[in-house]
Structure 1
Amino acid sequence: MITSELGPDLSTRLPDALPKQRELYYGGAWQAPRSGVYLRSTSPGTQADLGPYALAGADDVDAAVSAARQAFPAWRETAPLARAALLRQAAAVIRAHALELALIDAADCGNPVKQMQDDAVIAATQLEYFAGLVLELKGETIPTMNGSLDYTLREPLGVVARIIPFNHPFMFAAGKIAAPLAAGNTVVVKPPEQAPLSTLRLFELIAAIFPPGVLNCVTGERSTGAALSAHPDVAAVALIGSVNAGKAVMRTAADDLKKVLLELGGKNAMIAYPDADLEKMPLGAVRGMNFTWCGQSCGSTSRLFLHESIHDEVLARIIELTATLHRPGLPTDMRTTMGALVSREQMDKALSYVESAVAEGARVAHGGRRSADPALAQGYFVEPTILSGVTPTMRVAREEIFGPVLAVLKWSDEDDLFAAVNGVEYGLTASIWTTSLRTAHRAAARVQAGYVWINGSSAHFIGAPFGGYKQSGIGREECKEELLEFTQTKNVNVTLD
């Protein structure tokens, strides 16, 4: 067991943590890819080769879905409390292996190992939460005009595909199986091609808890996810990813009218009113940007609207806090507070947006470059970046970067403010800072976003529905509604006379 007592730098413990199994998992067993093709996973922090993982082709996806389909009838008939007990058992295993899973993700996706331990807590909590909801899959009785008995049933869909993003791989792989399994569905997980290894280790730890075929895993590229989404025996596809990825899933799902649950991108706004608490608000802005994950979070409040009366003071404080709290470092070191971007593509994309903003008239107030630390030269490290003088028409204020770039805008007129805040295609989260209760509620009503913080940022609360407006997604997660997303309603009418 890997523990924090081993010292701050855990890189030497990585070989012990990495998964031994690099194949596909379905039907209760590890299976070699039928093509015999394996890809390699590389650490974004060091360029170290982390070893192979299987590339699942269409035949492999078909075999995994077939195993899930065969397991479905028995799983749906398993008593709800028995399903719940297995989910809780999986949660306990994840809690016990938190640091190990965090270390794998630190090496494979670039996020800091110390903070990634929280992902285990979040994932386990979701498994426990949905285990507690299994008896809430209730129907209704409906009054009729003819004296018949009319009632509804909540029934599972069948095989559910879960496509996982690269920013929190094992957290999403573990947490996002909870609702469909609790509802009586079987699941096929497709981990991110950029960082698949923690999911493989997760399956080594928990897959055997469930009956064969109930929980399955196919690694691979985008083509693997496309084959899974298009498979005729998949009843629903749930994805966390970009808007383009969500649209691709919808296109493939359309042929069979599959149900989709999509949590997509965001260009989220934080609004600071003149009466905002200037002691708390700057720290909220830094936390909301999620610099720890290099801004690679769909909920990051990457547009900061500061009222002109507080703009200069707050901007100076945010720069100071960012410099103090976040400096890129090796992800496998417990002292690191900001990791690496997941790939060269993501790094180049973030830096290109900085260049674009400067060309359009913005100013780099902090950061804006690749890290100059010689110890980080092999990795994809970018300084936490703050841009001032940004206007709503600039690309950096309209397009999701998914990188460590905070755009700061100045406002004076509230109508113009909300025209800019709502003038993007996204609507996932928003944060509003004011000490006026009236202002807070009125602003929350005006902002077009699915999840709004008042005098807060970044935090999620289990049971509170998370999801977006506009192109930021379809459906709600982390709540009872997520459980119901994986069910369908059957109406039964009984003639009594």
Structure 2
Amino acid sequence: MQSASQAAQNDLSSRVPSSLPKASGLYWGGQWHTPTGAATLACMNPSTGKPLRDVLCGGTEEVSAAVAAARAARDTWARTPPLERARCLREAASRVLGHAQELALIDAANCGNPVNAMMFDAQVGAKLLEYFAGLVLEIKGETIPTSNGSLNYTVREPRGVVARIFPFNHPFMFAAGKIAAPLAAGNTVIVKPPEQAPLSTIRLMELLEDVFPPGVLNCVVGGRDAGAALASHPGVDAVALIGSVQAGKAVLRAAADTMKHTVLELGGKNAMIVYPDAHVEKAVAGAIKGMNFAWCGQSCGSTSRLFIHDSIHDRFVDALVKQLPSLYRPGIATDMRTTMGALINRTQYERTLHYIEKAHEQKATLALGGRHPADPALADGFFIEPTVFVDVQPDMAIARDEIFGPVLSVFRWRDETEMLTAVNGLEVGLTGSVWTQNLDTAHRVAAAIESGYVWINDTSTHILGAPFGGYKQSGQGREESKDELLEFTKLKNVNVLLGGK
């Protein structure tokens, strides 16, 4: 049994107030701003339902000011030697790692993900900064053979001002990691953190104030109006979003009038397929891992549709239901012992409960969870137990809609053709997972799945340098690789007629 002193050491909630940022949510041109008339946004703790602090919330005027600052710094940053840009990115990575627990604690308090798990986010954010710092000399063109004696070559140039909009499930990891590629390519950046959980991004801006020249890195906290203003602003040259399909469509519509470049990593309703010859114990562990229960399934890459072959279905489900509660149990996110946090807010909490009720109505069978935990300490937070439904059919709501909650839908399959029809029968296609010990089956089915990223005998793992992105309505463009760097460049062709002819 843990002593009282050990328990106190694990519970970091008392450290939250001193870790919160002191600045507002509006930063551009190397300065923090408090514009007259700017609204305020209340930041909440999903584990307790209690307020953390208010921040300033910008709108169209604040976006325009940030764009002006970014455009003023654009040309100078584009001409900055690549290795100097790389030095700045590496310094940013060092500061992220140096303040890893502080940033993780802010996110745990503000977005509800377990602080222990969020420490990994710090490593990912820093690695992305370091990775793109190492690619700055790879922004290369090529020469093209001609038949008329001319010299033809291409060069890659920065797009200009890039807006990056990201969601609430990994706020500071996205804030740190998603500025890396556009900054490495010589663009200036404006970030719009999630309105539900902006505090870690504000703190990151505080930490990086003296790393980049004024105007190179800017931040506007705001709601949908701010996002729409960034996507439609004629002074923004490219916009990149991580978010829902609906949010992606809104960005495309807003960006259409100015024909600006867009990069979209959107939602998914991802399938994990288990064949009869799969290693069952490993596949069970993969199914649990793939659902990202630590952050309540609030991940676009979660394998929330589990297709298990009839011959191993019952054994698989029994093992899954037995193991899951001991691995992921909801708890206060700022406690180092917590393995599963809270949903971001009441809206998402009630949305998830709605889908659970809908599953009951449509005659899916509840195998595990489906309720708010009984622990009185969690009564005021937005917690839902890890939830598993079996006997799920492809036309059910929980089989088709991205819930963004801790709900795993299990399908029993016999005929491969019918199963693959169900797997590919949605308008999204972000990730997929195949479990088999047959090499032919693995490659054949990976080719058949209509998604942009497929794991074989694994789930959730991201490989730095491997392009990540979706098919169909799960987005456009690729990230986490050299492809992301090139997304933020534009290609120019130069033709030189030699010999004076």
- TM-score scaled by structure 2? 0.98
> For 1:442, which of 425, 434, 444 is the aligned residue?
444
CA distance in 2, matches of 1:495, 1:449: 45
Name the residue aligned to 1:371.
373
> 1:47 offset after TM fit, Å?
1.6
Which ranges of 4 or more aligned residues in structure 1 deviate by more than 6 Å?
none
Asked whether the equivalents of residues 366 and 389 of structure 2 are also in contact (C-alpha less than 8 Å), the reply is: yes
How is 1:11-410 mapped onto 2 (pairs within 5 angstroms)? 11-410=13-412
> For 2:490, which of 488, 491, 497 is the aligned residue?
488
Asked whether the equivalents of residues 34 and 59 of structure 1 are also in contact (C-alpha less than 8 Å), the reply is: no
CA distance in 2, matches of 1:473, 1:485: 14
- Secondary structure of the residue aligned to 2:410 is strand
> 1:304 offset after TM fit, Å?
0.2
CA distance in 1, matches of 2:462, 2:7: 29
- TM-score scaled by structure 1? 0.98
> 1:153 offset after TM fit, Å?
0.3
> 1:395 offset after TM fit, Å?
1.0
Please report the RMSD computed on the Cα atoms of aligned residues, expressed in angstroms: 1.0
- Secondary structure of the residue aligned to 2:107 is helix
- Secondary structure of the residue aligned to 1:237 is strand
Name the residue aligned to 1:415.
417
Name the residue aligned to 2:3.
none
Asked whether the equivalents of residues 57 and 222 of structure 2 are also in contact (C-alpha less than 8 Å), the reply is: yes
CA distance in 2, matches of 1:207, 1:292: 32
CA distance in 1, matches of 2:49, 2:309: 43
CA distance in 2, matches of 1:148, 1:185: 31
CA distance in 2, matches of 1:336, 1:370: 16
Asked whether the equivalents of residues 33 and 57 of structure 1 are also in contact (C-alpha less than 8 Å), the reply is: no
CA distance in 2, matches of 1:234, 1:428: 27
Q: Match for 1:197: what amino acid?
A: L
CA distance in 1, matches of 2:196, 2:394: 32
Asked whether the equivalents of residues 111 and 331 of structure 1 are also in contact (C-alpha less than 8 Å), the reply is: yes
- Secondary structure of the residue aligned to 1:396 is helix
- Secondary structure of the residue aligned to 1:234 is coil
Asked whether the equivalents of residues 239 and 261 of structure 1 are also in contact (C-alpha less than 8 Å), the reply is: yes
Offset from partner CA, 1:294-334 (integer Å, 9 cap, x none): 00000000000000000000001111111110110000000
Offset from partner CA, 1:221-246 (integer Å, 9 cap, x none): 11111111111100000000000000
CA distance in 2, matches of 1:216, 1:272: 45
Q: Match for 1:51: what amino acid?
A: R
How much identity, in percent, do the aligned residues show?
62
> 1:379 offset after TM fit, Å?
0.6
CA distance in 2, matches of 1:209, 1:283: 42
> 1:6 offset after TM fit, Å?
7.5
Asked whether the equivalents of residues 465 and 478 of structure 1 are also in contact (C-alpha less than 8 Å), the reply is: yes
